[in-house]
Each structure stands twice: as structure tokens, then as C-alpha cells.
Amino acid sequence: MAKAKGGRVAAVSRDTTETQIKVRLDLDGTGASKVSTGIGFLDHMLEQLSRHSLVDLEIEAKGDLHIDFHHTTEDTGIALGQAVSQALGDRRGIKRYGDALIPMDETLTRVALDASNRPYLIWKVAFTRPKLGEMDTELFKEWFQAFAQHAGLTLHVENLYGQNNHHIVESCYKGLARALRQAVEIDPRKTDAVPSTKGTL
């Protein structure tokens, strides 16, 4: 992974009795990724997140997949969120807000976020299948909740319409990627200021 232009890099390790996860990221990257969680569909989504946010991302996760995918999914969201928050530091100079409207064939999804350091998730996404590949579709909300909580994001995700469950969830991750890319970008007009009248986020 190339060195960050602005030095906004982070490395996080999360070790529990259920999972061992290592995350390294560069907010000022090119969208390069190397992801291995043991869950094929989750790997695919995290690669999409990296590619469309231009965040360089390395994730290596080992978990108790013989039980189910819950712990690995949630803890990957936690560790990645912690890495984003660590890389943002005091959030000085960022644009703070981002949004995206993502079409994917018959599907349209809206994502909006505020890198406010006040975590909150609104999730208006429904699935008609219990699984995608081997992954339970209910786990996607768990991932987004864990990520938003630990990245310090107010995050709204709403699938406006769609039929194909793969398209629905992929548009959520791509929407998050594009919104995150906007929000963490340095504002050239306010590179030295925390984007809040409070003076802190």
C-alpha cells in the first residue's frame, strides 16, 4: 500500500475469543484493497467500499465461522470503523458531510452521512431472501451499525426501490463509499478548521 499523501493512515487490531481482525487503511489512497474475512460476499462488499471511496484498505479476519458469520461480520465493522475514526483524528479540515444516490439496474439506494462523531444509524433496507451466498442478509444491518458506531458517523441508508437482493446490498455499500469519500475529503477552503461552530467534533 502506498504511503498516504496527507498521512491519514490507521492500523487497528481486534482480538477476542471469537475473532482476530487486522485492519490497515489510508484515507488518501487510490481504492486498492486486499480483503480476506473468510466470508466471500462480505469480501466482495468491502472491496467495493474501498474501490468507490478511494480508501486503500487491507483487512485480514479470522473468526468462528463454524458457528455462524455474525461475530466476524460485526467485528469487521467495528475494527474498520475504529480505523476510520483513528485516521480522521480531530477531523480538522474535512468536508464532514457526504451523500450519494446509487442506481444499480432496477435498484436505487440513497445514503447520507455526517462524520459528526455522534454515531447513529437509520437503516431502511428490506430483503426478500434470508441469504446471499452463505451470508445471512440480516447481518448487513449489523455491519453498518458496527461501522457507524465506531467510525463516529451519523449514517442514513435507504433503499428506495429494487428487487434483486444482491443489487440492493451492493448499492448500499457503494453509496456508503461515495458518501464517505465526500465527507472525509479535505476542504481546500478550510484545511485548518474543525467543521463545527462548536470547534470540536
DSSP 33-50: EEEE-S-HHHHHHHHHHH
The residue-averaged pLDDT of 32-47 equals: 97
User: Can you give the pLDDT at residue 6?
Assistant: 54
Q: Which residue range(s) make up the domain with 74?
A: 9-184
**Is residue 201 domain-resident?**
no
Residue pair 89/200 in contact by the 8 Å Cβ criterion: no
- Kindly indicate the confidence band of residue 41, based on its pLDDT and cuts at 50, 70 and 90: very high
Confidence of residue 3 (pLDDT cuts 50, 70, 90): very low
- HSE at residue 185, side-chain half, CA atoms within 13 A, is 16
Q: Average pLDDT for residues 58-62, to the nearest whole number?
A: 98
The three three-digit cell numbers of residue 20, written as one number: 482476530
Single out the residue of 53, 172, 44 nearest to residue 109, CA to CA.
172
195 within a domain of the structure (yes/no): no
Residue 196 lies in a domain: no
Q: Is residue 200 part of a domain?
A: no
CATH of the domain at 123: 3.30.230.40
| pLDDT higher than threshold 70 for residue 5 | no
Residue 51 lies in a domain: yes
- Number of domains into which the chain is organized: 1
pLDDT at 154 over 50: yes
pLDDT tens digit sequence for 113-130: 999 999 999 999 999 999
Report if residue 14 sits inside a domain: yes
Instruction: Give the pLDDT band of residue 138 (cuts 50, 70, 90).
Output: very high
Residue 19 lies in a domain: yes
* pLDDT reported for residue 1: 39
Q: Please state, rounded to an integer, the average pLDDT across all residues of the chain.
A: 95
Asked whether residue 115 is assigned to any structural domain, the reply reads yes
- Band of pLDDT at residue 200, cut at 50, 70 and 90: confident
Q: Is the pLDDT of residue 155 over 90?
A: yes
pLDDT > 90? residue 175:
yes
Please check the confidence at residue 2 and state whether its pLDDT lies above 60.
Answer: no
Residue 38 predicted with pLDDT over 90: yes
Q: Average pLDDT in the 41-54 region?
A: 98
Percent of the chain exceeding pLDDT 90 equals 90
Residue 11, C-beta contacts closer than 8 angstroms, at least 6 positions apart: 22, 23, 24, 83
